[in-house]
Amino acid sequence: MARIFFNGQAMVGGPFHASVADALVGPVTTAPGYRFFSIRDECPGLLADPAVDTAIEGELYDVDLAHLRDVILPGEPAELEFGVIELADGSACLSMVLARGELERGVHKEITGFGGWRAYLATLGRTA
């Protein structure tokens, strides 16, 4: 099993939640020090940045590694990669993060100020 932080479409109410619903632990936030980006308004990308004091909302899941490998990872966009993040309680877990080099491309809209994917989607008239 692997603890993984989801902050986009796999969260409760999102289109991919059904594939991980039975693994939900509950809502959590990252520790301070993260920025957040929208990738084509389809999914979010998390980026560690010790220069900021923002935390991002999401949900923690305890997912079987085979399910992660066979079901979840094949659907992730190329702009994201595996990373290890820190949660507000100081513990570490896996998360999909903005891939190396993506920030430099300058094509992703920063949405850090919204604090989470659901709040950002609400400004677009959508729900997760």
Per-residue pLDDT tens over the stretch 59-105? 999 999 999 999 999 999 999 999 999 999 999 999 999 999 999 99
pLDDT over 80 at 36, yes or no: yes
Give the span between the Cα atoms of 19 and 48, in whole angstroms: 27
pTM metric for this prediction:
0.94
> What's residue 40's pLDDT?
95
Per-residue pLDDT tens over the stretch 39-54? 999 999 999 999 999 9
Is residue 118 within a helix (H) or strand (E), and if so which, with residue range? Answer: helix 117-123
Give the angle subtended at the CA of 20 by the CAs of 124 and 103, to the nearest 5°: 50
pLDDT over 80 at 128, yes or no: no
